[in-house]
Amino acid sequence: MILNENDINQQWHMHLLGDHAIVFSLKEKMDLKINMEVHALNQFIQSKNINAFKDFIPAYYTLTIVYDIIELQKLLHNKKIVSLNEFVQALIKEFIQFKKENTSFELATKNIKVPVCYDANLGIDLEKIAKEKNTTIEDIIQIHCARKYRVFCLGFMPGFAYMGEVDKKIQVGRHLKPRPLVHAGSVGIAGAQTGIYPKDAPGGWQIIGRTPMNIFDPINLALFAPGDMVSFYAITLAEFNSMKKM
């Protein structure tokens, strides 16, 4: 279902995900503008404090909202709304109206510099990628450090930030079979994405280095937030070890 057209010529689609989630989506693309719209819609709907909405999962081009079935039925009943479709269509209309009246939506963003040790003992896939892309490990490091990456969304595990876009020259696919253990702090690439494993976990991304930085802890929660701009710089193994001890 096409809901409406907005000023940057993007169309919101809506579909239900099973019996307890709603998905709003734009064009399936890793794109700054599209992602900004997703976060804007997320903030807008969250600001309405709708009790029946229990969780919000903004991703690249989708916003998934998890709802409570009973609470939602009550809400529709109280507002005399016939269907869930009608309810979400009204939400999108309101959002588009809101955007017209409040033209500038911006995420509060941080610039974060992340030290990475690209030693072959930590960047365990570097050698293989160099072979596959017919380049050198030094070039991969230089290319990975040359760009600023945008945090598109958080997910997969607590604090894991999906960042992009990685230079085509070093883009590689995921491992066909995920590794049973990827160490905390591991910096990986997968297609146009780069990211850091906040804790030890199984994972399929190609690992090119490791950061001594703490990415997630239960008190300060996530280091990264959507909209942040992240750059990587290379450190030696000795620097890695001394930063790790701090």
Partner 1 sequence: MKMNIIKKGIADSLQNVGHYGHQHIGVQVGGYMDFLSAQLANKILGNDLHQNVYELHFPASHFEFEENGFIAITGANFIPVINEKSISMHKVVTIKKGDILQFMQPIQGRIAYMAMSTNTEKISVIETSFVEDINNYLFTPAPIRFIPGPAWNDLEPLSIQTLLHQTFQTTLQSNRMGFQLEGPTLSTIEKKSYLSSGVTRGTMQLLPNGQIIILMADHQTIGGYPNLGQIILVDLPRLAQMVHQTPIHFRLCNVSTAHEQYQFIQTPFTN
Residue type, 228: D
Smallest separation (angstroms) from partner 1 to the CB of 204:
9
Q: For the range 235-242, what are the long-range contacts, defined as Cβ-Cβ under 8 Å and sequence gap of 24 or more?
A: 235/115, 235/116, 235/117, 236/117, 236/119, 237/117, 237/119, 237/121, 237/122, 239/115, 239/117, 240/115, 240/117, 240/119, 240/122, 240/210, 240/212, 241/212
Smallest separation (angstroms) from partner 1 to the CB of 201:
10
Interface with partner 1 (CB under 8 A), residue total 43
Of residues 172 through 191, those in contact with partner 1 by CB under 8 A are 176, 191
Residue 20 binding partner 1, by CB under 8 A: yes
- Report d(CA 208, CA 213) in Å as an integer: 16
Residue 81 binding partner 1, by CB under 8 A: no
Stretch that binds partner 1, among 1-9, 10-18, 127-135, 140-148 (CB under 8 A): 10-18
Of residues 103 through 132, those in contact with partner 1 by CB under 8 A are none
Kind and range of the H or E element at 143? helix 137-146
Residue 146 binding partner 1, by CB under 8 A: no
What tokens were used for 69?
């079935």
DSSP single-letter state for residue 168: G
Smallest separation (angstroms) from partner 1 to the CB of 92:
17
Residue 44 binding partner 1, by CB under 8 A: no
- Report d(CA 121, CA 86) in Å as an integer: 56
Among 6, 64, 89, 142, binds partner 1 (CB under 8 A): 64
Give the angle 22-24-28 at the CA atoms, nearest 5°.
130
What tokens were used for 126?
């570097």
Stretch that binds partner 1, among 101-109, 125-133, 141-149, 154-162 (CB under 8 A): 154-162
Among 84, 107, 229, 243, binds partner 1 (CB under 8 A): 84
Tell me which residues touch partner 1 (CB under 8 A). Answer: 15-21, 23, 25, 28-30, 42, 54-64, 66, 69-70, 73, 84, 153-160, 162, 176, 191, 216, 221-222
